[in-house]
Amino acid sequence: MPTDPKRGGRQFLLKVCGITKIYPNLTVFRNINFSTERGSFAVFLGPSGCGKSTLFRVIAGIERKDSGHIEWKGEKVSDLKDETAMMLQKDLLLPWSTLLDNVLIPAKVLGKDLQRERNKAIDLLSRFGLSGFEDYFPYQVSGGMRQRAALVRTLLFDREILLLDEPLSALDALTRRLLQKEILRIQLEFEKTVLMITHDIKEALFLADRIFLLSHLPTGIIKEIDMRDMPKPRQNLGPKLAAMEEEIFSILRGELVDA
Ligand SMILES: Nc1ncnc2c1ncn2[C@@H]1O[C@H](COP(=O)(O)OP(=O)(O)OP(=O)(O)O)[C@@H](O)[C@H]1O
């Protein structure tokens, strides 16, 4: 891990320095270090239960860390509550609210100008293929449409970092591919820095600028794969990505406790 705050002329937006998380009787992770540049896409892959979601909750300031620190734009900060918006596998849309009211939740929570945010929300819903569905309730639309609405809601928090915790894993393969492209579009168009957890190695290879492979508990970063020189969109695997897929698979298989 570089300790220099600059690399390739770009300043790190987020720097995680030696953080540790311990629950009573369980050390989840110890001495995690990584950095992300503004506008980059980092993907975390690791065995089930290794602490990926806990790591994201600590980064987001939802849970406290036991040691280490986090730097934001070169400054030490206590948490990143105001810089991150999180999206989970479960869309967490309120079943009694329409899609439009659901995506307006950030505007209400943050006390923003509702009329302005409403126009923004309607525009974003339309750009994510949800035009005409604004007044539908979550149970009236498909899983992919609900996740699109959840993505729009995450965007309306207007935060620099998106923490995506397996946002697509409940979706069918085709919808998943379509939404992967939309996430890439969001990242570029809205200049977001994305940190994403997935169990899908191909998904990581399609999306990432950098992949972090995590070990079993207590978790550490066992390998960092730099993919910044591989242009996106990466439509199909090709020999280089296929070899990387095989390598990642064999590393992660070694991390399965009962392998
Ligand atoms: N609040 C908590 N108190 C105690 N232990 C917890 C708590 N939250 C999570 N854990 C434990 O921490 C470990 C890591 O959990 P976490 O959900 O972060 O893993 P994960 O890698 O995201 O899992 P998965 O890939 O299955 O989603 C697990 O053993 C879990 O039981």
> Is 88 domain-assigned?
no
> Where residue 258 falls among pLDDT bands split at 50, 70, 90?
low
Q: Are residues 176 and 244 in the same domain?
A: yes
For the chain, how many structural domains are there in total?
2
pLDDT tens for residues 115-129? 999 999 999 999 888
Q: Are residues 45 and 98 in the same domain?
A: no
CA 201 to ligand 1 centroid distance, Å: 20
The verdict on the CB of residue 25 being under 6 Å from ligand 1 is no
DSSP label at 93?
-
User: Could you check whether the bond before residue 138 is cis, i.e. omega within 30 degrees of 0?
Assistant: no
> Is 54 domain-assigned?
yes
Q: ipTM more than 0.95?
A: yes
Q: Are residues 125 and 232 in the same domain?
A: no
Ligand 1 atom closest to the Cα of residue 48 is: 25
Q: Are residues 11 and 114 in the same domain?
A: no
> Where residue 132 falls among pLDDT bands split at 50, 70, 90?
very high
Distance CA 245, CA 61 (A): 32
pLDDT of residue 1: 39
Q: Are residues 37 and 149 in the same domain?
A: no
Q: Are residues 169 and 49 in the same domain?
A: yes
The verdict on the CB of residue 48 being under 6 Å from ligand 1 is yes
Residue where one domain finishes, among candidates 132, 158, 184? 158
Residue where one domain finishes, among candidates 106, 138, 158? 158
pLDDT of residue 257: 66
pLDDT of residue 169: 87
The verdict on the CB of residue 147 being under 6 Å from ligand 1 is no
CA 48 to ligand 1 centroid distance, Å: 9
pLDDT tens for residues 71-110? 999 999 988 999 999 998 887 899 999 999 999 999 998 8
* Helices 173-189 and 143-156: angle between axes, nearest 10 degrees: 20
Residue 111 tokens read as 């006390």
Q: Are residues 154 and 165 in the same domain?
A: no
- For atom 25 of ligand 1, which residue has the closest CA? 48
> Is 60 domain-assigned?
yes
Residue 182 tokens read as 């939309």
DSSP label at 219?
B
pLDDT tens for residues 45-78? 999 999 999 999 999 999 999 999 999 999 999 8
The whole domain housing 40 covers 1-83+161-259
Calculate Rg over the CA atoms of the chain: 18
Q: Are residues 229 and 170 in the same domain?
A: yes
User: Could you tell me what percent of the chain has a pLDDT over 70?
Assistant: 95
DSSP symbols for 30-70: EEEEEEEETT-EEEEE--TTSSHHHHHHHHTTSS--SEEEE
Q: Are residues 231 and 174 in the same domain?
A: yes
Mean pLDDT of 148-177: 91
Q: Are residues 77 and 198 in the same domain?
A: yes
Residue where one domain finishes, among candidates 115, 133, 158? 158
Q: Are residues 67 and 112 in the same domain?
A: no
Mean pLDDT of 2-13: 55
- For atom 23 of ligand 1, which residue has the closest CA? 49
Q: Are residues 144 and 168 in the same domain?
A: no
pLDDT of residue 186: 86
CA 52 to ligand 1 centroid distance, Å: 8
Kindly state the helix (H) or strand (E) to which residue 14 belongs, with its residue range: strand 10-23
Q: What is the pTM of this model?
A: 0.92
Distance CA 52, CA 35 (A): 16
Q: What is the CATH number of the domain that holds 246?
A: 3.40.50.300
The verdict on the CB of residue 52 being under 6 Å from ligand 1 is yes
